[in-house]
Amino acid sequence: MSVTSLPLLAAREWKLFHEQGLDVEIILMSPAISVPAMVSGEIDYFAGVGPGAASASIGGLPLRAVWVSSDKVSYSLLANPKFKTVQELKGKKIGVTGSLGATNHVSLVIALEKLGLSPKDFNILALPPTEMLRSLETGFIDAASLNPPTLFLALKKGFPSILDIGFLVEMPGGGLTVLIKSINGKPDEVKRVIRSMQSAKDAIRKSKERGIDLMMRILKMDRDSARGNVRGIFENPEC
């Protein structure tokens, strides 16, 4: 789970789903299999609106993004301390989570292009989220695009951030994607799911300490890191 999952987690922990008459089960799965799982009916909603879901929708799959958690991503590129600039990573291995074409990968590509660099000059590898930090520590990869809480763990271990991807890239982070047949067939339920998650996001904005406590407890962040993420991601009034 990452920071952009916070409204989802808050809606569960603070009984906001229950208040809307919903019995919700959160299943952690790879973005690469979430779209097929939803199309096959194994899951009802996907807690994200990334490029994978967007591409699937454009490609003809019956999906629609109906809500976003944040209007920015929280990724940063952390590298082995011997690398001081992004340019020094040309030809080196950079890890991204999920799969190629997912939010982590696409946001990195956009950031590199905004710097005038060609993504083809870098060896970008897709790795499981649980393997990213270990791969960086062992030297299997030279850099990694990470978001909280793994981002803060890597910083504490001495891996410097050499690129703030979220600063350069404007794209939604987290959200809610649903099947068209659900929108048409059970619109009231879809509205109640959206209402629950929006209420959670509003509550985080109004009481930052509740959000901070939740991040510390569930995402295992320290207080300073959690406070910075609430301020950076959920305080935009237009989000």
Strand partners, 205: none
Q: Are 65 and 44 in contact (CB under 8 A)?
A: no
Domain that holds residue 114: 76-168
Give the containing element (helix H, strand E) for 22: none
Interacting residues of 41 by C-beta distance below 8 A, sequence separation 6+: none
Extract the tokens encoding 74.
Answer: 């929280």
Quote the tokens at residue 97: 């989570």
Q: Which of these, 101, 118, 109, lies nearest to 58 by C-alpha position?
A: 101
Query: Could you tell me if 128 and 192 lie in one domain?
Result: no
Q: How far apart are CA 81 and CA 160, in angstroms?
A: 6
Q: Is the pLDDT of residue 203 over 80?
A: yes
Q: Return the higher-pLDDT residue of 195 and 33.
A: 195
Give the end of a domain, one of 152, 168, 184: 168
Segment 21-68, tens digit of pLDDT: 999 999 988 767 887 888 888 999 988 777 767 777 777 788 888 998
Q: What CATH number did the domain enclosing 220 receive?
A: 3.40.190.10
Tens digit of each residue's pLDDT (9 = 90 or more) over 149-172: 788 889 889 999 999 998 898 887
Same domain for 107 and 64, yes or no, is no
Q: In the chain, how many domains are there? A: 2
239 within a domain of the structure (yes/no) = no
Tell me, what amino acid is at 181? K
The DSSP secondary structure of 60-88, one letter per residue, reads: T-SEEEEEEEESS---EEEE-TT--SSGG
Q: What is the mean pLDDT of residues 187-216?
A: 89
Is residue 238 in some structural domain? no
